[in-house]
Amino acid sequence: MEKNTTKKINTFVSEEEKTLDWAEVQIAFKKTFGAEVYNSWLQKISLMKEYNDFLILGVPTRFFRDWIVSRYLDKILEQVKSFKLSLNRIEFKIIEENKQNQEIAKIEELNKVTEIKDSILNYNRLNPKLNFESFVKGKSNDIALSYSKKVCEHLSRYNPLYICGGVGLGKTHLLNAIGVDLESDNNVMFISAERFMYHFIKSIKKNDMVNFKDFFRKSSVFIIDDIQFLSGKESLQEEFFHTFNSLMEKGSQIIISSDRSPMKLDRVQDRIKSRLAGGLVVDIEIPDLELKVKIIKKKIEEIQNQFKENISIDDEVINYIASESKTSIRELIGVLNRVIAFSRVHNKNLTINDCKNILKDVFNQIRVITVDKIQNVVSNYFNIALSEMLSQRRSRPLARPRQIAMYLSKKMTSRSLPEIGRRFANRDHTTVIHAVKTITRLSEQDDEMKKNISQIKGLLLEQ
């Protein structure tokens, strides 16, 4: 029983596992290294095994490996990190060419028939726990919740339903809840924009667009998560637009989530934005204290029911946790899990002082935040390539994220201004000072900036 409990709690605490799309990484390689280097070297690298913090890549010969390691390893690592931040090491394995081809052929054979179907089973599974009952209602999500329910009652009345809100505020949960509710009577498709792209690229490569189109267009409820991912990806937008239009034409219900409103999507074509905004757009805001307290109580109740054990946490302590956790509900739940784990280990009722200690741990993590990490998180957040963010280009969509990354490097690491400047492609320390001043000012005056900064901080603290 005891063992079981620990295991369950672990899954409860753990973040979503992220898996690499090797096809996508390859595309990025081509962009970064140029066609020539890519064709002669990088294209031949295959992904053999993926772990949370390292990869095993297959290469054809020893010479090939040595060449890659001596010339491209740093850049390769940087690139894969931009897809999956937790990676910090790469190992190479030499596969004889024949064997490699055989392996690939074998896999391709296996995949051929059921490819799209399989991946739907693997990746688009709805999580039955993320339903309407487990979603706690509050001022910040009331409207989004009630329209999500209305959509389930009257399909196609609000079409598309577009739910927007910051990281960790419950968008995926709501989308999932809608899917769970409609699943039994409809052909529901639930997919993240990132996965949509993965299938798209794969289908192009295999010359199998007909299947792709059919597959996505036959759903009667199409739910797509994190649409901001489409920004800057022209051909993907085009395909999405066609899918979207044909679904609308045949009366399918579409539900979309994004971290921002349709009109604020960067580098997304205007006609797409206006179609996205053409149904109903609802917002999820930052939760107030009351909602945070309710969520904590609900979570405690769930854990108690699940493990048949009594967890007693004083209201005073609950209030304290709720008021200290500011960035997202995901963070709030993370902190709560720590507190519960602590009270289990020490087998005692917690005081506010205990909580302060536990939370201090959370804040201590700030010290291990590195400039590198900040750069990765910021460029991911704004959906731009790290190399672009560090480049000399001055356009606003690159310059602002760059300044934010400098600002956070100053605030969250112990690096000096000149050191930070050097890490940003050898910029002068006065540039860093300017960035810090600009972002400080903007984050006082501009709500959007305030929100961005707080969400990025949240992401950094979560890692």
The footprint of ligand ADP (CB under 6 A) covers: 130, 134-136, 141, 165, 167-173, 295, 329-330, 333
For the CB of residue 327, give the shortest distance to ligand ADP in the complex, in Å. 11
d(CA 418, CA 432): 8
For the CB of residue 257, give the shortest distance to Mg ion in the complex, in Å. 7
Residue 195 or 330 having the CB closest to ligand ADP: 330
Q: The dihedral of CA 111, 116, 117, 118: what is its sign?
A: positive
For the CB of residue 343, give the shortest distance to ligand ADP in the complex, in Å. 20
Q: How many residues bind Mg ion (CB under 5 A)?
A: 1
Identify the helix (H) or strand (E) that includes residue 424.
none
Q: Which option in Mg ion, ligand ADP, none does residue 330 bind, with CB closer than 5 to 8 A by kind?
A: ligand ADP
Q: Which option in Mg ion, ligand ADP, none does residue 436 bind, with CB closer than 5 to 8 A by kind?
A: none
d(CA 402, CA 428): 14
Query: How buried is 193 (Cβ within 10 angstroms: 0-12 exposed, 13-18 middle, 19+ buried)?
Result: buried
Residue 14 or 98 having the CB closest to ligand ADP: 14
Residue 195 or 402 having the CB closest to Mg ion: 195
The greatest distance separating any two alpha carbons of the chain, rounded to the nearest whole angstrom, comes to 66
Q: Is 392 helix (H, G, I), strand (E, B) or coil?
A: coil
For the CB of residue 26, give the shortest distance to Mg ion in the complex, in Å. 26
The H-assigned helical ranges of 154-227 are 171-182, 193-205, 209-217
The H-assigned helical ranges of 14-61 are 22-40
CA distances from 195 to 128, 211, 453 (A): 20, 16, 27
For Mg ion, the nearest residue by Cβ is 172
Q: Which option in Mg ion, ligand ADP, none does residue 120 bind, with CB closer than 5 to 8 A by kind?
A: none
Name which of residues 153 to 192 contact Mg ion (CB under 5 A): 172
> What one-letter code names the amino acid at 58?
G
| Encoded tokens for 460 | 């950094």
Contact present, 256 and 190 (Cβ < 8 Å): no
Q: Which option in Mg ion, ligand ADP, none does residue 449 bind, with CB closer than 5 to 8 A by kind?
A: none
Q: Which of 272, 269, 265 is nearest to 244 (CA)?
A: 272
For the CB of residue 13, give the shortest distance to Mg ion in the complex, in Å. 17
For the CB of residue 161, give the shortest distance to ligand ADP in the complex, in Å. 15
Name which of residues 212 to 231 contact Mg ion (CB under 5 A): none
Q: Which option in ligand ADP, Mg ion, none does residue 169 bind, with CB closer than 5 to 8 A by kind?
A: ligand ADP
Residue 172 or 231 having the CB closest to Mg ion: 172
- 148 sits near Mg ion (criterion: CB under 5 A): no
Q: Which option in Mg ion, ligand ADP, none does residue 432 bind, with CB closer than 5 to 8 A by kind?
A: none
Q: Classify strands 46-50 and 54-59 as parallel, antiparallel or unpaired.
A: antiparallel
For the CB of residue 304, give the shortest distance to ligand ADP in the complex, in Å. 16
Q: Which of 227, 141, 213 is nearest to 177 (CA)?
A: 141
For ligand ADP, the nearest residue by Cβ is 170
